[in-house]
Amino acid sequence: MIRILDAGPQTTVQDGGRLGQLRYGIPPSGPVDRFAFVLANRLVGNPDGAAALECTLVGPRFEVEAACAVAVTGADMPLSVNGKDAPRWATLALKVGDVVKLGHARSGVRGYIAFAGGLDVPLVMGSRATYLRGRLGGVEGRALRKDDRLRLAPAAAPRPRRVERRALPDYGGEPTLRVVLGPQADRFTKEGLGALLGSSYEVLPQSDRMGARLRGPRIAHTRGHDIISDGIAVGSIQVPGDGQPIVLLVDRQSTGGYTKVATVCSFDIARIGQARPGQAVRFRAVTVDEAHRLLREWDASLEGVMREESA
């Protein structure tokens, strides 16, 4: 068991996602930054989709009630064990009574905490992922609170490992997000498309796991912003009547009636999900064939990035 001493502003249980339910209006949820989530699980010997914690801007403080292994990845949140600095992106062995704390993120938005064996919360529709708006999964469908207790599934002690420095993501700067234009790119003017692909857009504080709201040059429509509602993929960029884009994320709605100018490629969802309010992002169009090639490269980037540490 682990006991939450301070939950932080929004810490939830997430796993690989609630697949196959979007037809009923239930999004997959799961981690916003899949790269950091998967590596956290691998560091503690778990399957890629094992249930772990996702925290936002400020991490939790918790006490472990049994010896276990943990790994912290994602946003640059200072990590300490019993008040002493501890390494992130590495396997940490904890003893009974150890207190772990994640501080305010210095860059990035979302941090991940994986435990050997994974978090043993009830399955809801085949997943342990928390969907906050629907109050499904995780711990009673909500963010964690002080004094919550979470059970860990049994697990053998993993081999201590560390993610190599060359593989660590940079959450600062002005990331460029690769997009495939459409499905309604023809509903935007040439100038509107030029604005999307030639300007920077600021991430707004109203962003959340449902979508990243952006502000920048207006993306002009040719004949109105409404369409007959159709399905929404992760990364869809909706543009309502004000011409300001919204990038839809893992807790998105299943359908929508605003025109969608483009779709952010799946391997860049983490980059928009880790962009802080006030940070700027840019967009670059790629072809479907190029997106497939980049996805294969992204999958390959998860391999061979960890090295063994001496016990």
Give pLDDT tens digits for 147-173: 999 999 999 889 999 999 999 999 999
Torsion on CA atoms 310, 45, 145, 269, rounded to nearest 10: 110
Q: What value does the mean pLDDT take over residues 198-206? A: 97
Domain that holds residue 227: 176-301
pLDDT at 177 over 90: yes
> H/E/C letters for each residue in the chain?
CEEEEECCCCEEEECCCCCCCHHHCCCCCCCCCHHHHHHHHHHCCCCCCCCEEEEECECCEEEECCCEEEEEEECCCCEEECCEECCCCECEEECCCCEEEECECCCCCEEEEEECCCECCCCECCECCCECCCCECCECCECCCCCCEECECCCCCCCCEEECHHHCCCCCCCCEEEEEECCCHHHECHHHHHHHHHCCEEECCCCCCCEEEEECCCCCECCCCEEEEEECCCCEEECCCCCCCEEECCCCCCEEEECEEEEECHHHHHHHHCCCCCCEEEEEECCHHHHHHHHHHHHHHCCCCEEECCC
In whole numbers, what is the pLDDT of the chain averaged over residues? Answer: 96
Looking at the domain assignment, is residue 156 inside a domain? yes
Q: What percent of the chain has pLDDT over 70?
A: 99
Whether this model's pTM surpasses 0.85: yes
- Per-residue pLDDT, averaged over 61-79, amounts to 97
Residue that is last in its domain, among 97, 130, 163: 163
Q: How far apart are CA 211 and CA 238, in angstroms?
A: 10
Residues 188 and 243 in one domain: yes
In-domain check, residue 307: no
Residue that is last in its domain, among 113, 136, 163: 163
* Shared domain check, 99 and 153: yes
Alpha carbon 182 to chain centroid, angstroms: 23
pLDDT band with cut points at 50, 70 and 90 for residue 43: very high
Arithmetic mean of pLDDT, 109-137: 97
pLDDT > 80? residue 18: yes
Q: Which pLDDT belongs to residue 309?
A: 81
Residues 247, 283: Cα–Cα separation, whole Å: 11
* Same domain for 272 and 141: no
Q: Note whether 50 and 83 are same-domain residues.
A: yes
Higher pLDDT pick, 227 / 96? 96
Domain-terminating residue out of 138, 163, 188: 163
User: What does the pLDDT average to over 182-194?
Assistant: 96
Asked whether residue 309 is assigned to any structural domain, the reply reads no
Is the pLDDT assigned to residue 310 strictly greater than 80? no
Question: C-alpha distances in angstroms, 56 versus 42, 107, 214, 257?
Answer: 21, 11, 19, 29
Evaluate whether 308 touches 159 at the Cβ level (below 8 Å): yes
Provide the domain count of the chain: 2
- 222 pLDDT above the threshold of 80: yes
**Residue 119 falls inside a structural domain:** yes
Q: Kindly state the average pLDDT of the residues 68-93.
A: 98
pLDDT at 311: 58
> How much is the pLDDT for 109?
98
How many Cβ atoms sit within 10 Å of the Cβ of residue 273?
25
Residue 281: give its domain's CATH number. Answer: 2.40.100.10
Same domain assignment for residues 130 and 33? yes
Q: Is 202 exposed, middle or buried (0-12, 13-18, 19+ CB in 10 A)?
A: middle
285 within a domain of the structure (yes/no): yes
Question: Do 200 and 148 belong to one domain?
Answer: no
Predicted confidence at residue 139, as pLDDT, reads 97
Same domain membership, residue 78 and residue 196:
no
Residues 60 and 32 in one domain: yes
Question: Do residues 95 and 192 both lie within one domain?
Answer: no
- Decide if 168 is inside a domain: no
pLDDT of residue 224: 87
pLDDT of residue 53: 98
Q: Is residue 218 part of a domain?
A: yes
- 15 and 95 share a domain? yes
Copy the structure tokens of residue 212.
Answer: 């990243």
d(CA 76, CA 86): 12
Residues 28 and 96 in one domain: yes
- Residue pair 273/109 in contact by the 8 Å Cβ criterion: yes
**Per-residue pLDDT band at 13 (split at 50, 70, 90):** very high
Assess whether 13 and 148 both reside in one domain: yes
Structural domain contains residue 310? no
